[in-house]
Amino acid sequence: MTRSPLATPFPALPAIAGVTLHVARARYKSWDRCDLTYVTLPEGTSVAGVLTQSRCPSPEVEWCRAALTLGQARALVVNAGNSNAFTGHRGRAAVEAVAARAAAHLGCKPSDVFVASTGVIGVPLPIDKAEAGLDAAFAAQPCDWLAAAETIGTTDTYPKGASVTAIVDGRSVTLNGIIKGSGMIAPDMATMLGFIFTDAAVDAPFLQRALSAANAPSFSCITVDGDTSTSDTVLAFATGAAGNRMLVDDDSLGADAFRAALADLCRQLALLVVRDGEGATKLIEIQVEGAESDRSAHRIAMSIANSPLVKTAIAGEDANWGRVVMAVGKAGEPAERDRLAIRFGTTQVARDGLAVEGYDEAPVAAHLKGDHVEIGVDLGLGDGRATVWTCDLTHGYISINADYRS
């Protein structure tokens, strides 16, 4: 598959004490690559997660939702090539078998094992391949973050990872993340599959609050195609190996620094997904201000971001601001035509419900030729604001999804 022109190099991610990565071939599809990731975690690891709000979630999502209430983790198993979604009792049995086998190997409870799968919907995860893949992972030598990031991908054209550090209670803590996602991206909580690991000591309830807060302006503010996956999962694991005093609430020493680092990491990971949007050639940032509320601004921004007409105009480098007006108008949120203002980059193209007379198209054309396009909208109604990210819509998206199952 052709590498996205918006791809960024995979960074050097440091080791996280207690986190051991393994990959193996379960052969869920007829491809010559690893497709099972197995991560072991030390006793006492806290876990938090944000999961799809789809009403048709995968058994893996339901398993994780139940296990998250206990707040502890010892392992993560990720299957690529088969989402195991919409597979009824057979899908549930597969998840239970995967968790039981990993738990038996580690000597822990099945509920300490978190499972995620991604790929084709409607095909039960073959238990024999899953168990054989796990056995191979148990015997495999530890791998690096790059190998793990490559293994969790499906239609991704490049591996995605990021790392940040923070000072918490006088200790340097590290947060690493890997993520996969390219299509079926319109998260209603998180995005596709993302996994965050830190050596900070964080109480599970506080980790959950911090992750949920970090999710709102990052994973929940991206869209590629307007389609929310049945398998969207982001999990965060905290081993406690850094030795800081446990973060339990916002008054804990270093809590603000940890929250900021986690938010930064989530934003980086989210943008990596948009940069790999299926067929994408341009990253589009949409800034909405002047709305009646932040929620209203977000809904309007997502209406613009999910408009095929807006996205194809940007693909064609056409500053068709009328399509932006259309997307604002259909969002179902308060808007007044004669207060609306629109810009591309720093150039105002419409104001007070009219085109800006005699505006210079040269800087607009130059801006649209770049690979990072910014659209600004001011509704002139209030203080609500939001920023979301999407990508353009090209023939490449159709080519990838027209034969996805082959």
Residue 404 confidence (pLDDT): 57
CATH 3.40.50.1980 fits 20-275, yes or no: no
State pTM to two decimals.
0.95
Q: Give how far Cα 184 sits from Cα of 43, 63, 229, 257, 350, Å.
A: 35, 21, 6, 33, 32
Alpha-helical regions (H) of 12-126: 59-68, 88-106
Give residue-wise pLDDT tens across range 48-70.
999 998 999 999 999 999 999 99
The predicted pLDDT at position 186 comes to 85
Greatest extent of the chain over all pairs of C-alpha atoms, in Å? 72
Residue 191 annotated in active site: yes
SS3 call for 1: coil
Cβ atoms of 274 and 225 within 8 Å: the answer is no
| pLDDT attached to residue 43 | 98
- Exactly one of 40, 87, 118, 191 is catalytic; which is it? 191
- Residue extents of the structural domains in the chain: 20-275, 283-402
Sequence ranges of the binding site for substrate: 154, 180, 191, 278, 401, 406
- In this prediction, the residues of the chain whose per-residue pLDDT falls under 70 are 190-191, 404-406
pLDDT at site 190: 66
Residue 96's nearest CA partner among 123, 71, 64, 55 is 64
Residue 100's CB: how many other CB atoms inside 10 A? 14
Fold agreement (20-275, 283-402): no
Closest CA to 84 of 36, 138, 114, 122: 122
For domain 283-402, the CATH superfamily is ArgJ beta chain, C-terminal domain (3.10.20.340)
